[in-house]
Amino acid sequence: MPLNAPDQPVSRHVSQQRLQARLDTLARFGATAKGGVDRQALSREDALAQAQMVRWGHELGLKASRDPAGNLFLRFEGLDDGLPPVLSGSHLDSQPTGGRFDGVFGVVAALEAVQAMVEAGHRPVRAIEVVAWMNEEGSRFAPGMMGSAAFSGARELDEFLPVRDGAGIRVDEALAATRSGLDELLAPEGLSPVVLRPLGGPVAAYVEAHIEQGPVLERVGLSVGIVSGIQGKHTWRIEVLGEAAHAGTSTRAERKDALMAALAMVQAMAQVFHDEDDVTKFTVGRFEVEPNAPSVVASRAVFSIDLRHPDTDRLNAMSQQVQRLCTEHRGPCEVVVQRLSAADSLSFSADMRQLAQDCAQAQDIATLELPSAAGHDARYLNPLAPSAMLFVPCHLGITHNEAEYASPHDLWLGTRVLADMLQALTTASSPESVT
């Protein structure tokens, strides 16, 4: 049943200054010299950011909890705690040369929406949980979105626990380290420890605010976008095994050159997946060579594949060619093709998109509906509960880059629409169904 924009909107209490100050504070955790952030999942910097969120939540009377996947929740109690909560948030982890807004804006915006309710003296019928999903980016541990995938049951947490980072540290070791790190950071301040909660749980609805990571909104001069859906994405880890040999004495005929075989695979896939309309996104972002010595034929090469397309059938058809193309171009080497994730394209519910539109319109905020080429945790919430995403512009679409920039004004307008959506969703006239 469609909801309407609230008649006493809390959005008037959303503070641009507070929003900006919190983003600036979090940007300090993992700050890079070029003005970006390197806040790897389950790192010390990630724990510092989570601890800061817990402190801010504590000031608002929010209860902090963390699940076995390392997802952090700050709960704003509703009048009826028997009702499933509405969740809102995004991720705190970043790419190695990440920006100050990707993910973290959605977490801070959700907290700001709750603070606006507190300042308005508004107590929702159902609880709101501000959430920071673990490892959305998949940079330190692949694949990404481990936290939201495990929370939703789309993937088993046990699949992720043994995954190692480049230093050989396992996910479960990093989870334990940040768990104790969080407690150590908070205990001296007399803050109650972050409660461990079970994985998963009922969700009435989910809304995620995020920067667009594209140029469209800025180009059309709008501050808020309503996301129609997210394109499909499949990822792989390809390992090519050859034999180290002398660069001067080994002949081409006898070589088992892992690097040359890997390059042949990448070249073949780049050709097969090339499309003139530039819709298919084929990316090899990580490429490791061993022993990585100038005068030694490579004995091993490991590379990533990130393949995306808005049409699920098209994506699946391309996806099925990866194993064949790698095998065909392995030459004298061995190849191990490991698919890490496979997510179809998705659309968000019309009711949720309409609610976003109504909440924006009620504040005279013009919006545009557009798809997301980037992946988001909302992907895994969407099958569980009515979900929506709001975009704000990022300058020239620059992202996954230290120069990422979103204006305080746009962030403020996006947060205002989020606040009124959360208010509508949590004071639903028909508590048993949200939309």
Distance CA 292, CA 283 (A): 22
Binding partner at 375 among Mn ion, ligand HGY, none, C-beta below 5 to 8 Å by kind: ligand HGY
Confirm or reject binding of residue 36 to Mn ion (CB under 5 A).
Answer: no
Binding partner at 57 among ligand HGY, Mn ion, none, C-beta below 5 to 8 Å by kind: none
Number of residues that bind ligand HGY (CB under 6 A): 5
- Indicate the residue among 201 and 310 with the shorter CB distance to ligand HGY: 310
**Beta carbons of 175 and 41 less than 8 angstroms apart:** no
- Cβ of residue 196: shortest distance to ligand HGY, in angstroms? 26
* Rounded to 5°, angle at Cα 185 from 183 and 188: 95
The two structure tokens encoding residue 260: 């040359």
157-162, Cβ contacts within 8 angstroms, sequence gap of 24 or more: 157/68, 157/69, 157/199, 160/69
Confirm or reject binding of residue 191 to ligand HGY (CB under 6 A).
Answer: no
- Indicate the residue among 284 and 374 with the shorter CB distance to ligand HGY: 374
Confirm or reject binding of residue 136 to ligand HGY (CB under 6 A).
Answer: yes
Question: Which 124-143 positions form the footprint of Mn ion (CB under 5 A)?
Answer: none
Distances (CA, A) of 363 to 6, 11, 123: 11, 9, 21
Within 10 Å of residue 276's Cβ, how many Cβ atoms? 5
Which of 93, 137, 208, 358 is the binder for ligand HGY (CB under 6 A)?
A: 137
The two structure tokens encoding residue 290: 């061993």
Of 95-103, 270-278, 282-290, 381-389, the window that binds Mn ion (rule: CB under 5 A) is 95-103
- Cβ of residue 375: shortest distance to ligand HGY, in angstroms? 3
Confirm or reject binding of residue 78 to Mn ion (CB under 5 A).
Answer: no
Of 136-144, 258-266, 277-285, 312-320, the window that binds ligand HGY (rule: CB under 6 A) is 136-144
- Cβ of residue 136: shortest distance to Mn ion, in angstroms? 6
**Beta carbons of 227 and 370 less than 8 angstroms apart:** yes
- Indicate the residue among 372 and 435 with the shorter CB distance to Mn ion: 372
Which of 6, 103, 124, 229 is the binder for Mn ion (CB under 5 A)?
A: 103
Rounded CA Rg of the chain: 23
Confirm or reject binding of residue 375 to ligand HGY (CB under 6 A).
Answer: yes
Which of 118, 199, 272, 374 is the binder for ligand HGY (CB under 6 A)?
A: 374
Distance CA 92, CA 136 (A): 8
Check residue 193 and report its DSSP letter: P
Within 10 Å of residue 191's Cβ, how many Cβ atoms? 16
Residue 346 neighbours by CB under 8 Å, 6+ apart: 229, 230, 232, 379, 382
- Cβ of residue 41: shortest distance to ligand HGY, in angstroms? 11
- Over the range 288-320, which residues count as b (16 or more CB within 10 Å of their CB) and which as e? ebbeeeeeebbbbbbbbbbbbbbeeeebeebbe
Which of 45, 102, 129, 257 is the binder for Mn ion (CB under 5 A)?
A: 102
**Three-class secondary structure of residue 132 per DSSP:** strand
Distances (CA, A) of 195 to 57, 64, 86, 308: 13, 6, 19, 37
Confirm or reject binding of residue 9 to Mn ion (CB under 5 A).
Answer: no
Of 94-102, 179-187, 201-209, 252-260, the window that binds Mn ion (rule: CB under 5 A) is 94-102
- Indicate the residue among 145 and 260 with the shorter CB distance to Mn ion: 145
Confirm or reject binding of residue 393 to Mn ion (CB under 5 A).
Answer: no
CA 215 to centroid of chain Cα atoms: 19
**Beta carbons of 433 and 130 less than 8 angstroms apart:** no
Binding partner at 225 among Mn ion, ligand HGY, none, C-beta below 5 to 8 Å by kind: none
Which of 9, 36, 68, 144 is the binder for ligand HGY (CB under 6 A)?
A: 144
Contacting positions for Mn ion (CB under 5 A): 102-103
Contacting positions for ligand HGY (CB under 6 A): 136-137, 144, 374-375
